[in-house]
Amino acid sequence: MGKRARRVGWGLVAVLLAGAAAWAQTADAVGQRNAAKARAALNAMVKALGGDAWLHLQNEMQEGKLAAFFHGQPDPGTTKYWAFHAWPDRDRMEYTKHRDVVQFYLGRKGWEVTYRGTRPLPQDQVNDFLRWRDHSVETAVKVWMNEAKTILVYDGQRMAERHLADEVTLISPENESVTIQMDAQTHLPLRRIFEWRDPVYHDKNTDVEEYDGYHVVQGIATPFTITRFKNDEMVRQQYVVRVQYNQELGAEFWDVDATRQKIKKK
């Protein structure tokens, strides 16, 4: 190859490299603008939920009724429940009118306490609850959003529950993702979506939670109807009748053995 041909060849390579660098810079700028838009949408959601009051909640108590569904059809009746949550990983649920069936999810473990004693909850039930908690709106904002390697993607606007919604997806460093759809006007969350792969059958599953009937309680915007879907089938609906925030619960409240002793005395 002559000198002239080599000069032409190297010139073409230089042009291609310059073009690739310019394209990469443009793509990076577009990605940064998209991430900034996603973060702005999430910040607006936090503000709508209550801002610092929501971000720094000590605990939450819900009282309501729970309806279960099988293949989209409701099981007869509803179950009264009291649900307590303290960030980041303490949850307690009480069932029956006597509140004498109590389930704990503390850290990564679960127990059930009744008048018969204490037993570990089935592992598949614990796994389901932990997946739900690990992919909640609260975890997405308080953990994922603050990790430097989390990717934020603004997916645009679409209809959700008859509302125009801003959709944002958060992708964690572990390649887990959570999608949140927020009302374009009120900025309140309408729907939370995540996918997970069954460890046994390896098929992909979709978990969706929808929020409706918001009321402001102690400065916190609170959904009073919460509906959960798995693979497009409704599996649970919660009807909240009362909510309290930042109660003085004490260490004994989260003690499994202390709860067992109280139930035995009833």
Paired tokens of 162: 């008859």
Paired tokens of 14: 């230089």
The alpha carbon of 93 is separated from its chain's Cα centroid by a whole number of angstroms, namely 18
Q: What is the CATH number of the domain that holds 207?
A: 2.50.20.10
Residues facing residue 82 across a β-bridge: 63, 94
Neighbours of 48 (CB within 10 A): 18
pLDDT above 60 for 165 = yes
- The number of distinct structural domains making up the chain is 1
What is the pTM for the complete model shown?
0.87
Neighbours of 261 (CB within 10 A): 11
CA–CA distance, 68 with 49 (Å, rounded to integer) = 27
pLDDT at 266: 67
14 inside domain: no
> With 0-12 CB in 10 A as exposed, 13-18 as middle and 19+ as buried, what is 102?
buried
Asked if residue 53 lies in contact with residue 218, where contact means CB atoms within 8 angstroms, the answer is yes
15 inside domain: no
Q: How much is the average pLDDT of 113-121?
A: 96
> With 0-12 CB in 10 A as exposed, 13-18 as middle and 19+ as buried, what is 25?
exposed
pLDDT at 249: 94
Q: Which is more confident, 44 or 9? A: 44
Paired tokens of 33: 């603008």
Domain of residue 246, residue span:
32-265
7 inside domain: no
pLDDT (tens digit, 9 = 90+) per residue, 3-38?
A: 555 555 555 656 556 566 665 566 577 889 999 999
1 inside domain: no
CA–CA distance, 186 with 85 (Å, rounded to integer) = 25
- Cα–Cα nearest to 220, from 51, 40, 4, 45: 51
Q: List, in order, residues 6 or more apart from 262 with CB less than 8 Å away.
A: none
pLDDT at 28: 72
Phi, psi of 120 (to 5 degrees): -65, 140
pLDDT (tens digit, 9 = 90+) per residue, 176-204?
A: 999 999 999 999 999 999 999 887 777 89
Residues facing residue 229 across a β-bridge: 208, 234
40 inside domain: yes
The secondary element (H helix, E strand) that includes residue 51 is none
249 inside domain: yes
pLDDT (tens digit, 9 = 90+) per residue, 74-83?
A: 667 789 999 9
9 inside domain: no
148 inside domain: yes
In the block, residue with structure tokens 């109807």: 225
pLDDT (tens digit, 9 = 90+) per residue, 209-258?
A: 999 999 999 999 999 999 999 999 999 999 999 999 999 999 899 999 99
